[in-house]
Amino acid sequence: MTKFALSLCVASALTLTACTDPGYVAGSGEERDAYRQTKTGAVIGGLFGAGVAAATDNNVAIGAAVGAGVGAIIGSELDKQAAELREDLDDEVRIENTGDRLILTMPQDILFDIDSYTVSSGLRDDLGKVATSLNKYPDTTVQVLGHTDNTGSAEHNQALSERRANAVADVLLEGGVPVQRIETIGRGEDQPIASNLDEAGRKQNRRVEIVILPNAT
């Protein structure tokens, strides 16, 4: 089989997986495939392995198999970590497993008082649990991203988002997460996930995201 043909096969497998995997949302009343992200990681890893092997003139099939194995391991670890965090954290913390990363979204209204960047005492406990999870799964890097709505000036919102991201990162550091694993980013009002035209949308936009990224192996 040529490299091009095998690449097409792997790509077809990815498409088939996406089409046949239901991936229902927990709590929707439908059964959810508990291993969806593991399988997704395996397919992504297979594509990566095949691509690397093709680029280096190595055996493409071997590269795809090795890559699929690595991807499956990463996907399995993310599945486990996400399940544990859902058990441990407040229901208002949204946890999304995309197959190659975990995204924890914390509404700023429960993290901070208005126009403040001091983490509320109630959420420090949840952030401590996140730190414990990060220490249990050390093969990851962490991005802490602060977001605001568009109330006030863009300059004020940018500075506030940076301070809030740093405040959340400080709690993770206090929980023992090494500083070299954490990156803080302020997005200000630039990446809304809802309309800023009403309070319900602005509330969604005021948030801090903790993105957990598996390290390349």
pLDDT above 70 covers a percentage of the chain that reads: 66
pLDDT per residue as tens digits for the range 121-162: 888 999 999 999 999 999 999 999 999 999 999 999 999 999
CATH annotation of 92-216: 3.30.1330.60
Q: What are phi and psi of 38, to 5 degrees?
A: -60, -45
Helices (H), 26-153: 36-55, 60-88, 108-111, 121-136
First to last CA, the chain: 28
* Parallel/antiparallel/unpaired status of strands 182-186 and 140-147: parallel
Beta-bridge partners for 147? 207
**Placement of tokens 């095949």 in the chain:** 50
Cα 68 to Cα 76: distance, rounded to the nearest angstrom: 12
Say how many residues make up the chain. 217
Mean of per-residue pLDDT scores for the chain: 78
Q: Does pTM surpass 0.85?
A: no
DSSP 182: E
pLDDT per residue as tens digits for the range 34-46: 444 544 554 555 5
> Residue ranges per domain, the chain?
92-216
Comparing C-alpha atoms, which of 78, 168, 81 is closest to residue 128?
A: 168
Contact by Cβ (8 Å): 101, 213: yes
